[in-house]
Structure 1
Amino acid sequence: MLFVREEMSFDSVMLVIQTGSGLIQLLLGVLCLLAGTFAARQSFRRWFLHHPERYEHFLPYAAFRLVLPTVSLGCMLLSILIWNWLTHSRPHLLPLFTAMLFWLGVIRLFTAVMRQALPQGKFERNSEHFIATVLWLGFVSWAIGFDDVMLDWLQSVSFSVGKTHLDLLTILNAMLWVSIIVVVALWVSRVIEARVMALKHMDLSLRIVFAKMARTLLIVVAVLIALPVVGIDLTVLSVFGGALGVGLGFGLQKIASNYVSGFIILLDRSIRIGDRLMVDNRVGYVTRITSRYVVLKSADGSEALVPNDALISNTVINQSYSDKAMWISLPIQVDYGTDLDQALAVLRESAAHPRVQTAPAPAAFVTAFADSGINLELGIWVKDPENGFMGLRSEIYLAIWRRFKELGIEIPYPQRDVRIVSDVAVALPGKGEQA
């Protein structure tokens, strides 16, 4: 009863449906399916509508997934018993429906177990329902012999490309195998990338290099495996490789240069994630390194995509190459009557801040005797330049301002001396000249 492929073919199923007995059996099958659907909806409202957290528990969820096939299968078996009792004959379609419902339950239970076994987020309900539907439709088509009809039709649609004869079945088979092999390769590359990125004792740039190389190598191997599987000779890659080389030499030269430059940057570790760079008067932090470009995020939140080739061929200022701490200066001016030793001491004291390094310690200097006052400058090393400088400058300037007010140290206004000349010499005409 569970395997009916040998008993019925697609043509025989179509012939049975065209009879009155077959239509009644089809109607009974639809009614049984509707009964299972109704029971499943009632179970959902009772178990999960107000308790969505039960989706994460395997037993309630698996039981819910089995309600529709179990109730429908029970109704179908009851229909077979009633049919045998009333007609004293064996039904043709009802055993087929029974097998379909049984395998629907098995497939739903299998996908529910898979969903529970995989990590959360890797196999959601939509994916589970899609896979279960595809597997069940595949079984239905095999059970009624519809797959033979589809295969014959796909083979009948054929055409020639040069000396190669192709049909839709070959094309779909090739697409299926290539997709499966490439997806498996990408999945393995993600697993390897996760394992490599978890190695905290290894430099981040090397981890990124190994992850990218593993993905590239796996994709190449997947293509080399997929091509012979679908019947494509690998010797055609020689022609493709020659064409690709010409394309790289002309149209794709810049792309190839960026790609190679990206691996050079990662291997020599001259630029790392989190470095503070100055590129073409733009300052920002490296947030991502890809095969083609480096993402440079500035303090205002904007992100610049700098090609890897530009970082290799041009001069790049890496302000955190050996040490991420940065030196900044805070200029200030005091009056000419100020005790400079006291003012310099105030500057050094005001630099006591959690974000300022103590070794080397903050330093204060007299930089110039200007027109309005004496120019002083406070130099500090900032531990975390990635958090910006404006807030730090403001806090230190406020501390200096408060101490200056306490000690009576004045910050001068701009001064200008204006001299007014009141006596103007008037040139009188000479004796010989007429007025």
Structure 2
Amino acid sequence: MLDYGVNIIEDWDGFVAQFNWVDSVIFFGFVLLMFFIRTVAFILLHKMEGKSERFQNRLGPALKSITNWITTYGIIVFLLVYFSEASWMFGSIFSIGKVDVSFFLILLAVLIISFANRTSKVMTQFLLPNVYDRYQLDRGLRFTFNRIFHYVIMVFAILISFTTVGIDMSALTVFAGVLGVGIGFGMQNIASNFISGLIILFERPIKVGDRVIINDVIGDIEKINMRATIIKTLDNERIIMPNSYFLEEEVVNRSYGDPRLRLVIPIGVAYGSDVEQVREVLHQAAHEEYEASDVVLNNPPSYVNFTGFGDSSLDFELFVWISNPEFVIQIKSNLNFRIYHLLNENNIEIPFPQRDLHVRSVDQRVIASYRDDVSE
């Protein structure tokens, strides 16, 4: 182990000794120039996005991605061309087993992985959406295919980069065994969440765009990562939940299977009200909201449930079905407004808690006796 460390130090000393600092200044000057051009291009693209919505949604992001490509790979190509005759480019920096790793091999591996990553992003952002639109895939299924495609591309890129560098893949079996032991002892949660994420992507108990309820908090699934799932609440806050939570705990998914949802609107009216009239008024409120909104359903029809006799009111419930759970709060509010106005128009009283106070008359002899006791 000591000899191995000494060899690495000697290799690095030789690497530094071969390096020409004048060339390095020229290289970093070229890097600054490329980033300056990139910044100018982004400013121009930003100005053009404000003039066209189509440019902002499709062409603008594509041109930004191409600009990043040109910047990154322009720097790498310049590095390879300018230093093609430099001895330090192909000299050994360190060794892995019998393989001498040079700066050129490291750069080549990084180039392969970064190219695969950018290719995956372009495919999932600009090409695959056209296929999804053709087959009318929902948002959650699109996200699943995008993540699987990205993982497959990156795994192949890493394997190819290892092979290019010269690392024998069979030698990684020992590393895999050590990694398995590490996962078994020190990375249980990470491994559990990663596997849970794969199960979620394939089994799809939840998917991107679903509305869920977790610990009485309502939110929409925004992103399913390798370790955790991002949930956007109605207050625009983000909840980061481990993937294993969705397989081990109870989660309410309002969008799973059938997205239709039944709303329950509780109503209380005063004793003495015409209950048949109350039922007609509630049905009228549901019908008016059905005509005004594309979310309220007419089938199943609305239903009025007479729940019982409360302390201060006759208690009813209005059942209304909607097609999209994202509009729960809006439709409930609209129905409450309509019900309130209709009850007032029909002179149906909405009660409030009342208590009757009964005063009992007191015998005058008791009062006189109390006064005598006090005077004594």
TM-score, length basis structure 2: 0.69
Tell me: CA distance 1:161–1:130, structure 2 relative to 1, closer, same or farther (3 Å): closer
AA partner of residue 153 (structure 2): L
Three-state SS of the structure 1 residue aligned to 2:66 is: coil
Q: Which amino acid aligns with 1:121?
A: K
Gaps of 5+ in 2: 1-39, 49-60, 370-375
The secondary structure found in structure 2 opposite 1:250 is helix
Q: Does 1:319 align with 2:254?
A: yes
Given the alignment of the two structures, is residue 403 of structure 1 paired with residue 337 of structure 2, yes or no?
no
Structure 1's unaligned 5+ residue stretches are 1-47, 57-117, 429-434
Partner residue, 1:279: 214
Say which of 177, 186, 208 aligns to 1:242: 177
Structure 2 distance, partners of 1:291, 1:217, is 13
**2:277 counterpart of 1:342:** yes
CA spacing shift, 1:331–1:120, aligned 2, 3 Å? same
Tell me if structure 2 keeps the 8 A contact 1:173–1:230.
no
Q: Structure 1 residues 226, 399: CA separation in 2 closer, same or farther (over 3 Å shift)? A: closer
1:179 and 2:110 aligned: yes
**1:297-319 deviation per Cα after TM superposition (whole angstroms, max 9, x unaligned):** 22111121111111111222222
Q: State which of 124, 142, 147 in structure 2 corresponds to 1:193.
A: 124
Distance 1:315 1:348, change over 3 A: same
Give the conservation status (yes or no) of the 8 Å contact 1:278–1:318.
yes
Counterpart check, 1:263 vs 2:202: no
Change (3 A) 1:334 1:422: same
Say yes or no: does 1:289 pair with 2:224.
yes
1:358 alignment partner in structure 2: 298
Q: Does 1:227 align with 2:167?
A: no
Kindly indicate whether the alpha-carbon contact (under 8 Å) linking 2:99 and 2:167 is maintained by their aligned counterparts in 1.
no
In structure 2, what is the equivalent of residue 253 of structure 1? 188
SS at match of 1:284: strand
Aligned 1:419-434 pairs, distance under 5 A:
419-423=358-362
Distance across 1 between alignment mates of 2:141 and 2:300: 32
From the CA coordinates, give the structure whose radius of gyration is larger: 1
Question: By how many angstroms is 1:185 displaced?
Answer: 2.2
Percent of matched pairs sharing the same residue: 31
SS in 1 for 2:301: coil
CA contact (8 A) 2:263 2:328 kept: no
**Residues 100-149 of structure 1, C-alpha deviation per residue, up to 9 Å, x if partnerless?**
xxxxxxxxxxxxxxxxxx9522333x87578667767876x5xxxx854x
For residue 371 of structure 1, report the CA deviation from its aligned partner.
2.6
Distance of aligned partners of 1:289 and 1:363 in 2 relative to their CA distance in 1, 3 Å threshold: same
Q: Could you tell me whether the CA contact under 8 Å between 2:89 and 2:102 is conserved in 1?
A: no
- How far residue 349 of structure 1 moved from its aligned partner, in angstroms, is 0.2
Amino acid at match of 1:416: R
Is 1:278–1:316's contact at 8 Å kept on the other side of the alignment? yes
Aligned length: 305
Instruction: Report the counterpart of residue 217 of structure 1 in structure 2.
Output: 152
Match in the other structure for 2:35: none
Among candidates 351, 364, 369, match of residue 412 of structure 1: 351
Cα separation, partners in 2 of 1:256 and 1:375, compared to 1, 3 Å: same
The AA in structure 2 aligned to 1:408 is N
Which of 319, 323, 330 aligns to 1:379? It is 319
Which AA in structure 2 matches 1:172?
F
The two structures have a TM-score, normalised by structure 1, of: 0.61
Cα shift at 1:160? 6.3
SS in 1 for 2:106: helix
231 and 253 in structure 1: CA distance in 2 versus 1, 3 angstrom threshold: same
Give the whole-Å Cα distance in 1 for the aligned partners of 2:296 and 2:84: 74
Contact 1:299/1:388 (<8 A) preserved: no
Deviates more, 1:415-424 or 1:236-245: 415-424
Tell me the distance in 1 between the aligned counterparts of 2:332 and 2:317: 13
- Is this contact kept in 1: 2:268–2:351, CA < 8 A? yes
1: CA distance, partners of 2:318 / 2:338: 13
Judge conservation of contact 2:306–2:315 (CA < 8 Å) in 1: yes
Q: Is the 8 A contact 1:209 1:266 kept in 2?
A: yes
- Which residue, out of 120, 135, 146, partners 2:63? 120
> Partner letter of residue 132 of structure 2?
L
Specify whether residues 385 and 232 from structure 1 end up closer, same or farther in structure 2 by C-alpha distance, changes over 3 A only. Answer: closer
Kindly state the Cα deviation for residue 324 of structure 1 after the two structures are TM-superposed: 1.8
For 1:71-124, what per-residue CA distance to the aligned partner results, in whole angstroms no more than 9, with x for missing partners? Answer: xxxxxxxxxxxxxxxxxxxxxxxxxxxxxxxxxxxxxxxxxxxxxxx9522333
